[in-house]
Amino acid sequence: MAKPPAPPKSRRPAAKRGAFARFFIGIMKAGVIIGLLGIIGLAAAVAIAYSSLPSFDEMMRSPNGQAVEIRAADDSVLVTLGPSYGEWLPYARIPRTMTAAMIAVEDRRFMSHPGVDPIGIARATVVNWRAGGNVQGASTITQQLARNIFLTSSKTFARKGREIILAMALERKFTKEALLELYLNRVYFGGGAYGIDAASRRFFGHPATNLNIGEAAVIAGLVKAPSRYAPSADPEAARRRAATVIDVMVRSGGISAAEAAIADPLAVRFVPQERKANVRYFTDWVLSDVENLIDEPFEPLQVSTTLDPRGQRAAEAALAAETPGGSQSALVALARDGAVKAMVGGRDYVKSNYNRAVAARRQPGSSFKFFVYLTALESGMSPDDIVEDKPITIGNWSPRNDNRRFIGETTLRNAFALSINSVAADLANRFGVDNVAEMARRFGITTPIDRQPAMALGTSDVTLLEMTQAYATIASGGIEARPYAITRIATASGKVLYSREPEGERVIVAPYVAAQMTDMMKAAVETGTGRAAQIGRPLAGKTGTTSSNKDGWFLGFTNELTTGVWMGRDDAKAVRGLAGGRAPARAFAAYMARAVGGTPPEPLVTALDGGDPMLEPDDQVYGLSDGTEPGMGYESADQPYYDDSGAEASGLPEASDQPGASERPGLSDRPSASVRPGASERPSASTRPGLSERPGPSDRPQAAPRLDSEWLDRTLNPPAD
């Protein structure tokens, strides 16, 4: 009996397996297609990048920012800011140990990969996954070069993608040797040094062609973290990192074990890094003016200045020796034409880069009496006139002297030398606090000036630089000594961008006024409060001390140099024993003795011999210059003016209703002091010596003169009697 036929086997499992196979094959095909498209896209991107790459010469010239080298008056380098580049070394001149060290520590498969290292990427991925963070990178030397030249260091996928494309394009266009040459001459090694030659010169004092294994290892180890491992920042960290590099070089075959044994990182000697921290107060001030003088944002610059390095060191030493503990100090020294010869803005630039010589506003104390006495001299008084030191009351204010005593009648010279408060207050009240304020304005004080009676004793804040400028103007015979520091700016290629031309002289006060002021300041040093400033040669100066000994000042000059010194605390607290005639005067003397020592002493001009002291070119009187409108002689129209409350106001000050100065007998043909704007017509003063009688309200002018061209003609050319 025949067996019945077996039932047909089910085809469903086979169909199921076929569906999975078709799906898998589809996925594979899609992956291949996507991969091919990716490769085509990458190749297209690399081709586009390749076509747009600059030439080798162009990449050699492209800088990593602008380098600025600031030089002193003797052409020595004060500071180099920004990137520093050494000599460009062709690949053939780069030591083999240097290339071996860099390849070993940064990219050991550099000679074989196409710009991107897949093995390195895989290794870094595993290491970072195990560590749970980004602890190892996989960028090749070519990728670092692409980032260094074309990209930023932002950590984004877009930037990484562009970096990979550029790296592969660079590999297609240039040889491995050319890429390594670019890299070693362009990479940053810390301390402002770009390229192995700049790094070698900065850290070892010789060119990169002379590098030994230990020194090459130090430089190669800096790329990972220049700020951490630079010898200028941490020499021991640099040596430890070099030891690691040498070990890697041995394992990668870059050097033999015998060579490694000789290359002891501990034997590497670094050149001392010169510390010029405090000169940065000056160089920072100079840099703030460079961009106002030129418009060159890319070319390396060489800025020549007026600073005297020997004097700068003397200034720093003088302040370090004399500044009271817990206090700050500042110093500015100006030549007769305003050239800055020394500037110290604080005790330690590293701890505080605030420039107290330029930016700090402090009360000047009695050093502000300088403007009070100038007003009196210009108004007709002389150093030999008799004044009276006695109790006075102005409104609700009764000034008193530091010693609580009054000496009675004395000369104007002696009152200044002894810094008698009652006489200074009486002078300011007699001749007008507005006129005193305007005198300070004329001499370059731009800070708000208090118009209350106590301003005569220095209650308005000023800066040391502006006060020194004012005193330097008297040292130069009444001709403005506007501070300047930059004499020349040129590119590294020698193209001159700026060269200072001498400015026309601007007369601030008549020469006889400057001579009389010098005479009184000379007495202050010889017999008055400034005796501690004496240096064994003709000298004039003035002390200044504020209430509770919060500020101490000394400003003075020889025939060659004017120097201002300030001391005090940044928080304006009292400093025990601080007075202008003590530490500031001693610091002044210590600096000046070295700054002008070795030059023959020259006498100060304290009197004018022969000639008419009043004859001056009309366009120079009190600062008037061509094109200056009447009434604008002592300050420009855009210079701020401050009202009685200290608030900035627009326009010129209104004429004061304070009584003015007298015309001294015998000087009736002299131009009126009211040439400067804001000064009032002054009633005749008594010919009797002394200041006890002050004109009453009825003597005061009822209206200010109209400041127009007719007024100027009448003032400069008064009718004959």
Strands 486-491 and 496-499: antiparallel
Which percentage of the chain shows pLDDT scores above 70?
79
Alpha-carbon distance of 640 to 636, in angstroms, equals: 9
Q: Which of 81-85, 197-201, 404-408, 560-564 has the highest mean pLDDT?
A: 560-564
Instruction: Output 124 or 91, whichever has higher pLDDT.
Output: 91
pLDDT at 34 over 60: yes
Cα torsion angle, 280, 286, 287, 288, sign: positive
Give the pLDDT score at 721.
41
Give the pLDDT score at 2.
56
Give the pLDDT score at 274.
63
Q: Which of 73-87, 599-613, 690-704 has the highest mean pLDDT?
A: 73-87
Count of all residues that appear for the chain in the document:
721
Q: Say yes or no: domain 86-267 is CATH 1.10.3810.10.
A: yes
pLDDT at 711 over 90: no
Alpha-carbon distance of 184 to 197, in angstroms, equals: 9
Instruction: Output 641 or 170, whichever has higher pLDDT.
Output: 170
Phi and psi, residue 332, nearest 5°? -135, 135
Give the pLDDT score at 620.
40
Q: What is the pLDDT of residues 287-302, one digit of tens each?
A: 989 988 998 877 789 9
Give the pLDDT score at 175.
94
Nearest Cα to Cα of residue 565 among 305, 326, 286, 327:
327
pLDDT at 275 over 70: no
Phi and psi, residue 457, nearest 5°? -100, 10
Residues 6+ apart with CB under 8 A from 423: 387, 388, 389, 410, 412, 415, 691
pLDDT at 229 over 70: yes
pLDDT at 152 over 50: yes
Strands 340-344 and 328-335: antiparallel
Give the pLDDT score at 9.
55
Give the pLDDT score at 134.
66
Strands 68-71 and 301-305: parallel
- Which segment of 269-278, 347-356, 462-471, 593-602 scores lowest on mean pLDDT? 269-278
pLDDT at 714 over 80: no
Give the pLDDT score at 163.
87
Residues 185-208 have a mean pLDDT of 89
Greatest C-alpha distance within the chain:
168
Contact 683, 695 (CB under 8 A): yes
Residues 75-83 have a mean pLDDT of 86
Give the pLDDT score at 648.
41
SS3 409: strand
Which residue's entry shows tokens 């402002």? 192
Residues 6+ apart with CB under 8 A from 97: 211, 212, 213, 216, 255
pTM over 0.85: no
Helical (H) or strand (E) element with 331:
strand 328-335
Instruction: Output 563 or 223, whichever has higher pLDDT.
Output: 563
Listed in sequence order, the DSSP H helices in 405-561 are: 412-417, 421-431, 433-442, 464-475, 511-526
Helical (H) or strand (E) element with 564:
strand 561-568
Distances (CA, A) of 316 to 189, 283, 332: 31, 15, 11
Give the pLDDT score at 687.
36
Which residue's entry shows tokens 């963070």? 133
Which residue's entry shows tokens 């505080």? 352
Task: Please give the mean pLDDT across all residues of the chain.
Answer: 82
Alpha-carbon distance of 716 to 258, in angstroms, equals: 92
pLDDT at 618 over 90: no
The set of catalytic residues is 106, 366
Residues 6+ apart with CB under 8 A from 43: none
Q: What is the pLDDT of residues 527-570, one digit of tens each?
A: 999 999 999 999 999 999 998 899 999 999 999 999 999 999 99
pLDDT at 171 over 50: yes
Percentages (nearest 5) of helix, strand, coil residues in the chain? 45, 10, 45
**Inter-axis angle of helices 464-475 and 369-378, nearest 10:** 30
Q: What is the pLDDT of residues 334-364, one digit of tens each?
A: 999 999 999 999 999 988 999 999 999 999 9
Distances (CA, A) of 536 to 529, 540, 594, 597, 689: 17, 12, 12, 10, 34
Instruction: Output 681 or 382, whichever has higher pLDDT.
Output: 382
**Dihedral through CA 77, CA 82, CA 86, CA 91, nearest 10?**
180
Give the other-Cβ count within 10 Å of 417's Cβ: 24
For residue 360 the two structure tokens come to 């700090």
pLDDT at 713 over 70: no
Residues 596-611 have a mean pLDDT of 82
Residues 6+ apart with CB under 8 A from 49: 165, 166, 168, 169
Give the pLDDT score at 119.
86
Contact 532, 582 (CB under 8 A): yes
Q: What is the pLDDT of residues 511-537, one digit of tens each?
A: 999 999 999 999 999 999 999 999 999
Which residue's entry shows tokens 């041995």? 250
- What band does 659 get if pLDDT is binned at 50, 70 and 90? very low
Residues 6+ apart with CB under 8 A from 272: none
Residues 464-490 have a mean pLDDT of 97
Instruction: Output 305 or 36, whichever has higher pLDDT.
Output: 305
